[in-house]
Amino acid sequence: MTDTTAPLWPAPTAPGPVDATVVLPGSKSLTNRALVLAALADGPSLVRHPLLARDTRLMIDALRALGAGIEPVDDGVRVTPAPVRGGVAIDTGLAGTVMRFVPPLAALADGDVRFDGDPQARLRPMGTVLDALRTLGVSIDDGGRGVLPFTVAGAGAVPGGEVTIDASASSQFVSGLLLSAPRYDKGVTVRHDGKPVPSQPHIDMTVAMLRERGVEVDDAAANTWRVEPGAVRAVDTVVEPDLSNAAPFLAAAVLTGGTVRVPRWPAATTQPGAELRDLLARMGADVSLDDGVLTVRGTGTVLGLDADLHDVGELTPVLAALAAAATTPSHLRGIAHLRGHETDRLAALAAEINGLGGDVTETADGLDIRPAPLRAGVFHSYADHRLAQAGAVLGLVVPGVQVEDIATTSKTLADFPGMWAALLGRSGGDPDA
Ligand SMILES: O=C(O)C1=C[C@@H](OP(=O)(O)O)[C@@H](O)[C@H](O)C1
Ligand SMILES: C=C(OP(=O)(O)O)C(=O)O
């Protein structure tokens, strides 16, 4: 939904090639998994360098409401688990991780847990998760709608067992069930039956984090995940930087022929943002990783991209913005599921880039983007943090772009406008710090 009353943010144009080091906060996906697993654990956990932005604050609030103690410590939060409490209401905001990961945990509560979220959240697919929970022995009242709002009737324990779902609309359906599965009486076996599940790295992330906490997970067979019942070990964990949120900053280097460095870039990770190294190189950038610092240098050439982004869908908005400024056509494929993200991202990207004079067509499963001269205009963000980032990226090289509702970037970055100003050397922030 477009909030036409939201303020317009004049996107700064780059005064020249950017040259900056960008320190990113923790990954949304790693932070919210770490918080859920800590709330289910056998003792207090430390989550260091977490993301503190809207999606993770919503997760913290949800877990606190359900009984967990979550206190700030120097470099993060301490999570002290407690019996899961019912009789509470949870605000999911627009966070997919909250609306898909928390209901399976709430099923362990000793009473009703009511879920609702932003108006746009009520459009995001949920029915698969709710039906799966019913199969596993949980009672849920969703008025037959399969979307927010709904009430999970916690009964203090969940039988668990086997369930077959179609997770082609979101990998989060699988991840949500797996994260709470060790606490179900019989554990859980999830089978997927349908078109391919998107965002495989995010499922690998879920499996890896369960195993790091001593949970037995069998993912050897394609499209089947078995989680044994048992304790979730409390751990002291350091969250990696959010590599998907590196995308707009790295794109700035590519577009302006500049250089952007991101420290603490992990050598090995389950984050899909790792693919930016390959994708940006294919778009013409020089990319290197030395001593944990990723450096992206623009070469003055921005090439189009022909890529299947099925596994890394959340990178699409920024890549589409880059593609719109490229000299050759792009075909972004395998991303039909983006229609169920914060907004219908395929429709939104086509409308907004075309609104600036671009030449984008939606395909059944993606976007075709052809080079076209871009001009000033309003870039609507549809309450979607990554749409707003895409508008900011185009504004670097297209004078007169105004991004509507830049504040929506606070979903996963506490101060994107400030970081953007620092990138361009426009504030007290020191881009070379
Ligand atoms: O599990 C996660 O942390 C996520 C999974 C992906 O969801 P989809 O599989 O719905 O694309 C991704 O797009 C989202 O940003 C975060
Ligand atoms: C799809 C995204 O978010 P969510 O976790 O709300 O699904 C995203 O961050 O790109």
Pocket test for ligand 2, best of 342, 346, 387 (most atoms within 8 A of CB): 342
Counting residues of the chain whose pLDDT is more than 70, the rounded percentage is 97
Q: Ligand 1: which residue has its CA nearest to atom 13?
A: 314
For 68-76, what is the mean pLDDT?
97
Q: Strand, helix or coil at 371?
A: coil
For 203-229, what is the mean pLDDT?
98
Q: Strand, helix or coil at 169?
A: coil
Q: Ligand 1: which residue has its CA nearest to atom 6?
A: 199
Q: Is the dihedral of CA 370, 373, 378, 379 positive or negative?
A: positive
Does residue 430 surpass a pLDDT of 90? no
For 351-368, what is the mean pLDDT?
98
For 71-88, what is the mean pLDDT?
98
Q: Is the CB of 341 under 6 A from ligand 2?
A: yes
CA of 175 to the centre of ligand 1 (A): 9
Cα–Cα distance list, 102 to 155, 212, 214, 255, 424 (Å): 15, 20, 21, 39, 38
Which tens digits make up the pLDDT trace of 141-177? 999 999 999 999 999 999 999 999 999 999 999 999 9
For 12-41, what is the mean pLDDT?
98
Instruction: Output the pLDDT for position 135.
Output: 98
Instruction: Output the pLDDT for position 427.
Output: 46
Q: Ligand 2: which residue has its CA nearest to atom 7?
A: 96
Atom of ligand 1 nearest to the CA of 340: 10
Q: Which two tokens stand for residue 379?
A: 């870039």
CA of 293 to the centre of ligand 2 (A): 26
Just list the catalytic residues: 314
Which tens digits make up the pLDDT trace of 314-349? 999 999 999 999 999 999 999 999 999 999 999 999
Which tens digits make up the pLDDT trace of 385-408? 999 999 999 999 999 999 999 999
Q: Is the dihedral of CA 63, 65, 66, 72 positive or negative?
A: positive
Does residue 429 surpass a pLDDT of 50? no
Instruction: Output the pLDDT for position 1.
Output: 45
| Residue entry with tokens 């205009």 | 377
Asked if 345 and 415 touch (Cβ cutoff 8 Å), the reply is no
Q: Ligand 2: which residue has its CA nearest to atom 1?
A: 341
The ligand with the least distance to the CA atom of 93 is: 2
3-state secondary structure 391-403: HHHHHCCCCCEEE
| Residue entry with tokens 């969703």 | 142
DSSP string for 116-173: E--GGGGGS--HHHHHHHHHTT-EEE-TT-SSSSEEEE--S----EEEEE--TT-THH
Instruction: Output the pLDDT for position 432.
Output: 39
Binding-site annotation: residue ranges: 28-29, 33, 96, 124, 170-172, 199, 314, 341, 345, 386, 411
Instruction: Output the pLDDT for position 309.
Output: 98
Pocket test for ligand 2, best of 56, 99, 314, 315 (most atoms within 8 A of CB): 314
Whole-angstrom distance, CA of residue 416 vs CA of residue 170: 26
For 80-96, what is the mean pLDDT?
98
Q: Which two tokens stand for residue 332?
A: 């972004």
CA of 29 to the centre of ligand 2 (A): 9
Whole-angstrom distance, CA of residue 125 vs CA of residue 339: 10
Mean pLDDT for the chain overall:
96
**Cis peptide bond upstream of 371, omega within 30:** no
Residue in 399, 300, 381, 370 with CA at minimum distance from that of residue 343: 381
Instruction: Output the pLDDT for position 4.
Output: 55
Q: Strand, helix or coil at 83?
A: coil
| Residue entry with tokens 């508008």 | 391
Question: Is the ipTM here above 0.95?
Answer: yes
Counting residues of the chain whose pLDDT is more than 90, the rounded percentage is 97
| Most distant pair of Cα atoms in the chain: their distance | 60
Ligand 1 binding residues, C-beta < 6 A:
29, 96-97, 170-172, 175, 198-199, 202, 313-314, 337
Report, in this order, helix, strand and coil percent for the chain, each rounded to 5: 35, 20, 40
Which tens digits make up the pLDDT trace of 181-211? 999 999 999 999 999 999 999 999 999 999 9
Cα–Cα distance list, 274 to 133, 186, 305 (Å): 32, 35, 17
pTM of the predicted protein model: 0.97
Walk me through the domains of the chain, giving residue ranges and CATH numbers.
8-24+243-423 (3.65.10.10), 28-219 (3.65.10.10)
Atom of ligand 1 nearest to the CA of 205: 1
Q: Is the CB of 95 under 6 A from ligand 2?
A: yes
Binding-site annotation: residue ranges for 3-phosphoshikimate: 28-29, 33, 170-172, 199, 314, 341
Instruction: Output the pLDDT for position 6.
Output: 86
For 69-88, what is the mean pLDDT?
98
CA of 200 to the centre of ligand 1 (A): 9
Does residue 288 surpass a pLDDT of 70? yes
The ligand with the least distance to the CA atom of 200 is: 1
Instruction: Output the pLDDT for position 433.
Output: 35
The ligand with the least distance to the CA atom of 172 is: 1
Instruction: Output the pLDDT for position 151.
Output: 98
Whole-angstrom distance, CA of residue 153 vs CA of residue 108: 9
Asked if 143 and 150 touch (Cβ cutoff 8 Å), the reply is yes
The ligand with the least distance to the CA atom of 95 is: 2
DSSP string for 22-52: ----B-HHHHHHHHHHHHTSSS-EEEES---
